[in-house]
Structure 1
Amino acid sequence: MNQLLFDRSTGSLGPKAFARIQTSYLIHAIQPVPGLRFNGGEKEILPVDEQGNSLPLPAGETKIWAHQAGANALTIDIENRFLVSGGADSSIRLWDLDESDIRFKHTFKPRCAVSRTSSAHKFGITHLSFYPFDSEAFLSSSYDHHLKLYGTETLQVSADFDLNSIVYTHALSPIADHLLVACATQHPAVRLVDLRSGSSTHSLAGHHGALLSMAWSPTLEHVLASGGIDGTVRLWDIRKSSGSLGVLDMEDSTGITGTDGMGRSARAHTSAVNGITWTDDGRYIITAGHDERIRVWDAATGANTLASFGPTLKNGHLSNLPLVVSPTASTSVGKELLFFPNEKEILMFELHEGRLLKRLKVPGPNMAAVRSRTGERNIRNRVTGLVWRGQAGGIYTAHTDGQIRAWLPRTTDDEILDREEEENSDAFGNNENEGTKRKRQVLDDVFQNLTRQKVTFG
């Protein structure tokens, strides 16, 4: 770090290169932070082993979780401050991530929550997303067939849409002037809901079977990608009468095959497609399917780039799979990172080569006891939600065991300060040395500032 600062001060390293080196370093340093916990305030239950037998809690540990029935979804606002979580019991909670100035140890409590009233969802939450231009509102979808719009401050429902089938996910364009919400449901057509008029405008037909994934282009406001259980990924221009732009074909590595968009032979995956995202420059589309494959596509030509991610992938649940790609400006050109929820771990890949860089193991047992209105049951723990909080803010994940977990950059400076704190604690009891405390405060202030502000390299 000192060498980088020296090179920057002497002019031998430009500001863009310096920023990329630093942000890339922070992303690669992401680790689990068990000291950051989320307490939804529900009563404690005991953990179980793989045979279903109750286990005692470790001495001095109190069992807490964000959603006792399981956490299904997460979203974070554009200021990277407010986190909204949705539970398997239809509960929704709002968390203020700036609640603590300490980065590695704090127990968050909900700032507010959706109570079980007639306006709340009746079944589990499937997806959450903030309004793309400010943090005043967010959307939720559910197994109860409804898409709802909430006010962030009050958590009151301001709009409710009944789509008459399970809504697996929904998507809002991050750049568009229109306020169309694309919904992936059990129905084989893409459903478009207009938030301005409060009505379902039209549908985009072409898939054969339910839809599981949806994502708008980050650069073209009328272009949308959708994936379904038929193994196809379709591209749409919502301004066209037919809508269809084409179908991604895993056999096409040149992008010159072409399609009318209605053929059944061209498929992106051999099984259901339940994960879609774009790089933030709109140049590449990333898809994941039940065939346990990830594919990277050239968005301009539709060509399969043939990136190979190896045999380690696990993906087989009938739900939307959250994929996160690091911002293109935060790494060297062509070196974006993909975070993939692989059941009970998060895999960090180099996007274009498919090279596995890191396996982030989820702490805790493989089996967990959850409690809902129908009683207590044992479930296999896995990652269900994944959101990016920025270069310094790391990532946050939701899990079927009801926990929300934080994964933050942990640098060499942090490790040095931790050792100093331990040494000072041994020497002076619980009183932390003032010098170490000042160092920790300075470092935390730097990271907090990086988290609150969006880093740009214009």
Structure 2
Amino acid sequence: MLGLMAARQAGLDDPARLRRAERTRRVLSLELNKDRDVERIHGSGINALDIEPVEGRYMLSGGSDGVIVLYDLENLSRKPSYTCKALFTVGRSHPDVHKFSVETVQWYPHDTGMFTSSSFDKTLKIWDTNTLQPADIFHFEGTVYSHHMSPVARKHCLIAGHRQEVLAVSWSPRHEYILATGSADGTVKLWDVRRASGCLSTLDQHNGEKSKASSEAANTAHNGRVNGLCYTNDGLHLLTIGTDERMRLWNSSTGENTLVNYGKVCNESRKGLKFAISCGCNPEFAFVPYGSTIAVYAVFTGELITMLRGHYSTVNCCVFQPHFQELYSGSKDCNILAWIPAPREPVPDDISEKSLPQQHLNPAYEDAWSSSDDEG
């Protein structure tokens, strides 16, 4: 890292490379932070979390008791140890509280004045953050398992919601009209909402090689319920997870299964599983609820990097905070845990370039030194 900083200072390296290297280091050093607590409000399991993308400061949580909580993640006390306080709660006594389990919460992507929630009570609600009152309520005939608002849409304000057996849904962060959905029948479909027919393609785990697959498995993404999906930040790939204990990475343009092997991925959830992908790292990482732990995978190689342990019961959801490379997770144990990059080891005052490991030095910077420079 010192080599990267020195090369950047000398103008020999791209500033983006230094940022990626530091973000990657921070993600790889994530640990349960003993100095930061999230105020415990929920009296039952936590199903969904979302951090607003504008400031990265406010977080929503939705519980299986229908309660929604809004937290402030900023350390206003300026003390090393602090608790992220709940600012507002839509509790059981609120006249518009969801009657049953809240499955998804999401901030309006462009400001913090509005957020949405959907529930097993067959409703999707749009909330005014300032008044904590619903601005609108949509009623459905079937259970709403998941919903999502596009992070990049400028020409529409559509909310994608599904009923009954569609368990996961996500708008593309690259194309504002493209939508991905995952279903209990094992299929993952890509949609263009401008088209009358809607469906663009159905992802096939065998990439069209039906001769090698049974007719039952053909044109399915998983051999089980697809209950989680997430685009990479650039929108070029889609990661899906199913109850067949498999995770698959797809080229979102071609629909091709990239055949990355993540091994067995424990997934016993009968409803949506909320996982997250890092942003701005090299490589990128996926944070996947795995029983009472969170598995961290390298997205493009399938390598299991580490397991984050701290919850006492099944983890249902996690959300990545890209501004500071932090992770928050919610569980059936009613707790929200904060996973924070470990502090960097202090560098001795007498450190010199000669004492740095050579692999950390930028080659261009290393070559810039001459023998006369060393002698001087």
Using structure 1 for the length normalisation, give the TM-score: 0.71
Contact 1:277–1:285 (8 Å) recurs in 2: yes
Cα deviation, 1:135-176, whole Å, max 9, x if unaligned, reads 110000011111001112221111101112211110111111
- Distance in structure 2 (CA, Å) of the matches to 1:103 and 1:31: 19
Please tell me whether residue 73 in structure 1 is matched to residue 48 in structure 2. Answer: yes
Q: In the alignment, does 2:114 pair up with 1:137?
A: yes
Aligned counterpart in structure 1 of residue 69 of structure 2, from 79, 93, 103:
93
Q: Is the 8 A contact 1:66 1:404 kept in 2?
A: no
Secondary structure in 1 matching 2:86: coil
- 1:331 aligns to 2:270 (yes or no): no
Q: How many angstroms apart in 1 are the aligned matches of 2:318 and 2:80? A: 19
Query: Does 2:267 match 1:315?
Result: yes
Cα separation, 1, equivalents of 2:302 and 2:334: 31
1:5 Cα deviation (Å)? Answer: 2.6
Q: Distance in 1 between matches of 2:325 and 2:203?
A: 34
Shift in alpha-carbon separation, 1:387–1:346, aligned structure 2, 3 A: same
The one-letter code sitting in structure 1 at the alignment partner of 2:65 is D
* 1:265-280 equivalent positions in 2, closer than 5 A: 265-280=218-233
Q: Contact conserved, 2:206 with 2:218, CA < 8 A, in 1? A: no
Tell whether 2:174 aligns with 1:219: yes
SS at match of 1:212: strand
Residue matched to 1:359? 307
Q: Give the drift of 1:336.
A: 1.5
In structure 2, relative to structure 1, the CA distance for the partners of 1:393 and 1:18 (3 Å cut) is closer
1:192 corresponding residue in structure 2: none
Measure the CA separation in 1 of the matches of 2:293 and 2:271.
17
SS in 1 for 2:220: coil
One-letter amino acid of the counterpart of residue 235, structure 1: L
In the other structure, the counterpart of 2:294 is 346
Tell me the SS of whatever aligns to 1:18: helix
Q: Tell me the SS of whatever aligns to 1:413.
A: coil
In structure 1, the partner of 2:9 is: 9
Distance apart, 1:384 and its partner CA: 1.4
Letter in 2 for 1:138: F
Q: Could you tell me which residue of structure 2 aligns to residue 199 of structure 1? A: none
The one-letter code sitting in structure 2 at the alignment partner of 1:410 is A
1:386 paired residue number:
318
Partners of 1:240 and 1:16 lie apart in 2 by 38
Q: Is the 8 A contact 1:314 1:343 kept in 2?
A: yes
Q: 2:73, 2:85 within 8 Å by CA — same for their partners in 1?
A: no
Q: 1:240 aligns with which of 189, 195, 204?
A: 195
Check 1:104–1:326 CA distance in 2 against 1; reply closer, same or farther (3 A cut).
Answer: farther
Q: Is the 8 A contact 1:35 1:106 kept in 2?
A: yes
Q: Residue 231 of structure 1 contacts residue 272 of structure 1 at CA under 8 Å; is this kept in 2?
A: yes
2:57 maps to 1:109: no
Question: Map of 1:441-456 to 2, 5 A cutoff?
Answer: none
5 Å matches for 1:389-400?
Answer: 389-400=321-332
- Quote the residue 2:333 is aligned against: 401
Tell me the distance in 2 between the aligned counterparts of 1:415 and 1:123.
53
Q: What is the letter of the counterpart of residue 255 of structure 2? A: G
- Percent identity, please: 33
Rounded to whole Å, the distance in 1 between the matches of 2:324 and 2:178 is 31
Return the match for 1:158 from 130, 135, 152. Answer: 135
Q: Deviations over 1:75-123 (max 9, x none)?
A: 1111101011112211111111114355862123311111323322111
Aligned-pair CA distance for 1:395: 0.8
Letter in 1 for 2:90: V
3-state SS of paired residue (1:318): coil
Q: Is contact 1:72-1:85 (8 Å) kept?
A: yes
CA contact (8 A) 1:237 1:244 kept: yes
Q: CA deviation at 1:184?
A: 2.5
After superposition, where does 1:181-200 map in structure 2 within 5 Å?
181-186=159-164
Q: Is the 8 A contact 2:48 2:274 kept in 1?
A: no
| C-alpha distance in 2 between matches for 1:293 and 1:415 | 42
Structure-2 change in CA distance of 1:253 and 1:295 (3 Å): farther
Higher mean alpha-carbon deviation, 346-355 vs 10-19, is at: 10-19
> How many aligned positions are there?
341
Shift of 1:355: 0.6
CA distance in 2, matches of 1:215, 1:153: 27
| Partner amino acid, structure 1, of 2:62 | G
TM-score by length of 2: 0.86
Closer, same or farther: CA 168–6 of 1 in aligned 2, 3 Å:
same
Unaligned 5+ segments in structure 1 are: 40-64, 187-209, 258-262, 366-380, 417-458
Aligned to 2:186: 231
Question: SS of the residue aligned with 2:9?
Answer: helix
Q: Which amino acid aligns with 1:67?
A: H
Mapped contact 2:23–2:325 kept (Cα < 8 A): no
Counterpart residue number, 1:432 = none
1:265, CA displacement in angstroms? 3.5
* CA 103–362 in structure 1, closer or farther in 2 if over 3 Å, else same: farther
